[in-house]
Amino acid sequence: MSELIQPRVLKGFRDALPASEIERSLLTETLTRTFRQFGFVPIDTPALEYSEILLRKSDGETEKQVFRFQDNGGRDVALRFDLTVPFARFVAEHKEELYFPFKRYHIAKVWRGEKPQAGRYREFFQCDFDIVGSDSAAVDFEILALMKAALESIGVTKVTIRLSHRGVFNRFLARYNLADKSEDVLRAVDKLSKIGAEEVKKILSESCGEENAERILTYIQGSGTKSEDYKATLNMIRDMAGGEAEDTKRLDDIRTLMEETGIASSFVLDPSITRGLDYYTGVVYETFLDELPSIGSVCSGGRYDNLAGLYMKDKVPGVGSSIGLDRLMAGLEALGQSAAREGFTEAAVFNQDARSMGAYQKLAHELRLAGISAEVFPEAKKMAQQYAWAEKKGITWGILEANGAWTVKNLATRESAEGLDTKALIHHLRRQ
C-alpha cells in the first residue's frame, strides 16, 4: 500500500457537514415554494462556459478572480462567477422558446478566486430571481413583494427593504453638471453606511466641490428613515432632480401597490441606495435585518434596461434580486434562528438481538408507510452506543422490543409507553 494522501479541500473551499447542508436545504426548499407561489420557474445553465461569453463585459477585477483554463479540446473556458451573465446568455439563446414576461429563479453554485477571508469563500451559492420582458411598475413591485414574502417564509420577519431609483439620482447629478463625475459619486455614496456622512462628504468635496458635496449628502439622506417618510422623501428627491418624470412616477406607483396590498411598512425609500457601479438603470434595493443591520444587505437587486445586449439586438428589460444565502445563514445563526439540525429521523428502532432484524425492519417499513421517518440500528451493539448515536442524530423516539411488544421512549423527556403493538405504536407517535 502506498503512502496515504492527506484528505483536505482547497483553500477557500469547504465541505458542508449534515447540519449545515440540512439548514441550506431547508432554506432553499422553503424559498423555492415561495418562488413558485409567485409564478417563478427554475432553469439551469452549465457551470462551465466559454470565457468569451462570461467575461466580455467584465472589468479587470472580475477577470482576475475567475477560474479560467483551456479544456482538453483547447477551448478557453471558465467557471461561472455569477448567475446573471449566464442568464443573459440563456435569454438570448432561447428567446424563441420562452414566454414573456419570463420569471425565473436559479439557486446554484458560483466560483470566484477571491482572497479567502472570514465569511468569503471561493465557492458559494447564489439565489437569484428575475422577471424579464416587462418594464412595468407591476413587476418592480412583484420582485419587492416576493423579497418580503421569501424572507418571511424562512422566518425572517424583521427586515427593512430600502429602495431607490438610479434614474432620479442620475437626473439630480445631471442637473448640477455632475454626470461625468457619477462613477466617483456612486463609489463614495456606496460607502455611506461603512464610513459615515462626514467621510463621504470629504471624498465628495474633493471631486465635486463643497457645495455639491453638501447637496449630494442632503439628497441621499432623504426626509427620514421610516416607511412613513416615503412620500416626503419622494417629494424631496423629485424637487432636487428637477421635477416629475417617469422615474419618480415609478417610485410613486410602486408605493401605491405596496399600500393597496398592505405590505408598505417593510419598505423604506432610501436615496443612498445606489448599488455602486452595478449595471442597474431603474429601481435598486437592499435588505437589512432589523436586529443585525451590521452584516449588510441579505437581498439586493434592481432594474436593468438591457439584460442580453451583448448577445442579441432585441432589448430585454428586466428586474431581479439575489438572496445572499451564506450571509443570511450567518445572520440567522447569530440571531439564534438557525434551522441547523443533525437529521430527519423521527424514530430509531434499537437492536437488542440481531435475530430480530426481520421484525425491526418490518416495523421501520410500516412506520415509513405511515409517514414517520425511521431507521434501524444495524448491529446489536451495546445500548449505550445506540443511544449515543440516536442522540447525536437528534432522533426523537427510541423503540425497543420487550416481551413481543414495543416500548417507545421519548429520548429527550425519557417519557415512555409500553406493551404496544405496531398499530398502537403508530397511533402513539402520531398523537405527539
For a copy of itself, the closer of residues 105 and 285 by Cβ is: 105
* Class of residue 45 by CB neighbours under 10 A (exposed 0-12, middle 13-18, buried 19+): middle
DSSP strand pairing (397-402 vs 347-349): parallel
Torsion of CA 268, 272, 275, 277, to 10 degrees: 160
CB of 258 to a copy of itself, least distance (A): 9
Residue 425 beta carbon to a copy of itself: minimum distance, rounded to whole angstroms: 16
Quick check: helix, strand or coil at residue 236?
Answer: helix
CB-nearer residue toward a copy of itself: 55 or 216: 55
Name 409's bridge partners. 398, 416
* Smallest distance, a copy of itself to C-beta of residue 76, A: 10
Cβ(234)–Cβ(269) below 8 Å: yes
CB of 198 to a copy of itself, least distance (A): 38
Please tell me the number of Cα atoms within 13 Å of 202 on its side-chain side: 5
Query: DSSP for 83-136?
Result: SHHHHHHHHHHHTTTS-SSEEEEEEEEEE--PPPBTTB-SEEEEEEEEEES---
Of the two residues 357 and 424, which places its CB atom closer to a copy of itself in the complex? 357
Q: CB-wise, 159 or 189, nearer to a copy of itself?
A: 159
Shortest spacing between CB 9 and a copy of itself, in angstroms: 5
DSSP 158: S
Least distance CB 215 / a copy of itself (angstroms)? 34
> Is the sign of the CA dihedral 336, 341, 345, 347 positive or negative?
negative
Element containing residue 389 per DSSP (H, E): helix 383-392
Give the count of beta carbons closer than 10 Å to the beta carbon of residue 126. 19
CB of residue 229 to a copy of itself, shortest distance in Å: 21
Phi-psi region of 371 (alpha: psi -120 to 50; beta: other; left: phi over 0): left
Q: Which of 292/383 has CB closer to a copy of itself?
A: 383
| Residue number with CB closer to a copy of itself (47 or 339) | 47
Q: Which is nearer to a copy of itself, 36 or 231 (CB)?
A: 36
User: Hey, what's the cell of 350?
Assistant: 434499537
Smallest separation, CB 42 to a copy of itself (Å): 4
C-alpha to C-alpha distance for 94 and 302, rounded to whole angstroms? 23
Q: Which is nearer to a copy of itself, 141 or 304 (CB)?
A: 141
